[in-house]
Structure 1
Amino acid sequence: MPDSAVTTSPTTVKHQIAAEILRARSGAALIGLLLTALAFGALGQLGAVYADADLAANAVDASHRVVNLAASATLFASLFGALLVTGEFKTGSIGRSVLYAPGRGAVVGAKLLVAALAGLLYGVVAVLSALAVGTAAFSAKDVSLVLDGRTWQVAAAIVGVCALAGPWGAAIGFVVRNQLIAVIGLVVWGTLGQLMVLSQFPKVGRFLPDGAQLAVLGDRLTLPSALDAPYGLLVLVAWCAALALLAQRMFTARDV
């Protein structure tokens, strides 16, 4: 189907974004994946606290570690982004989206923006949940969760990488189109693939999206050779921009 020749205006763009927000809210994926992310995060956070034999002595590092575990929400944010796009290819409704949009670029842009907003939501809620779970778990062992500058730095980094993870998954959805392949690919890479690459080829892996994400989070335990956080952020943004451009070009060139 050829791209629309309708002139893009602020009003049509606004309507396109509103339609994508409605579509994102109407399904079970947004809340379902968010609740799953919170459950996985909480299990990891409780495990980290109760596995520490001397929590009082390690309170600072343990606090940072507990908050950092909220970063697992990035996987679920990327999955939501992928489902937001591939769901339309699966049902065939992508054709109608293109028909009523001012252009294919508007479809891509709106979906990436909504996926970013969803990722931002995931990041904020995941951080708040980590702080709540951490506070409760620490209090159960008569220790206070440490809320210092590093804690808030990690929290802000998690919100940022989640906001980028959403459109990253959406862009992958545009490139792959197949829902099953996109979801399996994100899960396998997010749980196993990245760890294998980062452990076997750390000098290369630090320039990949996952290595850059660890740099933004300041996680040098997983990747000792990680870039400094500002450079990691630049690399991560560059990867997201490149994938978004690829998604736009492939969506424009192929039939729907």
Structure 2
Amino acid sequence: MRDLLGAEWLKARSQSLLPFLVVGGVVLATVVVLGLVSQGAADVSAGHDTVSNVTDQAVRYWMTMHLFSSLFGAVFVTGEYSSHAISRSVLLGGGRGRLFTAKALAGTAMGVVLGLITAAAAAASPWIFLPAYGLRPEWTTTTWQVLPGVFAVTVLAAPWGVLVGWICRNQTVAVGLLAVLTMAFEPYLFDLVPAIGKFMLTIAFASLYLDGDPELLSVPAALAVVAAWFAAAWIIARRLLTTRDIT
């Protein structure tokens, strides 16, 4: 199993799309944070906001990286179907179950790497952007709670993408599904029907980085919902892998 894990980790860090996903995530997060800080500075000047809240927002909205982390996970699996290398991977890996587990672990490991990059950027963000608008960051207990939440959702998104990749198999379908669920369907469902939408994975993630919406689940409840989504996806993905042709 150690050799298989090593091989999958090599595949993970050698993904040709990985640099583009990292750069894309950083660019999107930077644009979002800049917009929030600009508006926040205006609100602080008008007495409608606090510097501590703007600081929290500058950290919190690096959570946008979790979309790119999930896309990496999906591509990590579907890329092998696209290149028709999946049969060889199963054969060399010693079986479908072993490959399934190895990809989940390697995907999670890359999620940790992406999470560390995101957490570092998020921590530096207030000190880079707020002074440009004449604000001195105010790092509070809440900020310390937001930061690990941003890290956690970035890490968790990678194995989630892996599971979606196993379920969909097709790269375009998997990437499109993750993008639509994350950026459109789940947020809109939460806006329309919060009592249902708060149980969606993307919205449960929002509880972990303390988005602040009163309709959100508590952190312990959100963790339970995340675990349920992962358990369901794990069962479905493994079942489909073991019962369908792999070609």
TM-score, normalising length from structure 1?
0.90
Work out the number of aligned pairs and report it.
Answer: 242
Bigger mean CA offset, 229-238 vs 119-128: 119-128
Select the residue among 186, 210, 219 that pairs with 1:229.
219
- Does residue 185 (structure 1) correspond to residue 173 (structure 2)? The answer is no
Following TM superposition, where does structure 1 have runs of at least 4 consecutive aligned residues deviating by more than 6 angstroms? none
Select the residue among 105, 120, 145 that pairs with 2:137.
145
- Does residue 240 (structure 1) correspond to residue 230 (structure 2)? The answer is yes
Give the C-alpha shift of residue 211 in structure 1: 2.3
Contact kept in structure 2, 1:49 and 1:55, CA below 8 Å: no
Amino acid paired to 2:230 = C
SS of residue matched to 1:219: coil
Runs (5+) with no aligned partner, structure 1: 1-12
The superposition leaves residues 203-223 of structure 1 with CA deviations (integer Å, 9 ceiling, x where unpaired) of 0111221221122222133xx
Bigger mean CA offset, 80-89 vs 30-39: 30-39
- Does residue 111 (structure 1) correspond to residue 99 (structure 2)? The answer is no
SS of residue matched to 1:51: helix
The superposition leaves residues 78-136 of structure 1 with CA deviations (integer Å, 9 ceiling, x where unpaired) of 00000000000011100000001122111111111111122222222122212323211
Contact kept in structure 2, 1:41 and 1:130, CA below 8 Å: no
Contact kept in structure 1, 2:22 and 2:68, CA below 8 Å: yes
Q: In the alignment, which residue of structure 1 is the partner of 2:23? A: 35
Q: In the alignment, which residue of structure 2 is the partner of 1:47? A: 35
SS of residue matched to 2:216: coil
CA distance in 2, matches of 1:25, 1:191: 26
Give the C-alpha shift of residue 146 in structure 1: 2.0
Amino acid paired to 2:177 = G
Give the C-alpha shift of residue 141 in structure 1: 2.7
- Does residue 174 (structure 1) correspond to residue 166 (structure 2)? The answer is yes
CA distance in 1, matches of 2:219, 2:236: 26
Give the C-alpha shift of residue 71 in structure 1: 0.5
Q: In the alignment, which residue of structure 1 is the partner of 2:77? A: 85
SS of residue matched to 1:171: helix
TM-score, normalising length from structure 2?
0.93
Alignment RMSD, CA only?
1.4
CA distance in 1, matches of 2:228, 2:152: 14
CA distance in 2, matches of 1:35, 1:136: 18
Give the C-alpha shift of residue 241 in structure 1: 2.1
Bigger mean CA offset, 67-76 vs 52-61: 52-61
- Does residue 252 (structure 1) correspond to residue 242 (structure 2)? The answer is yes
- Does residue 198 (structure 1) correspond to residue 190 (structure 2)? The answer is yes
Contact kept in structure 2, 1:46 and 1:134, CA below 8 Å: no
Bigger mean CA offset, 210-219 vs 18-27: 210-219
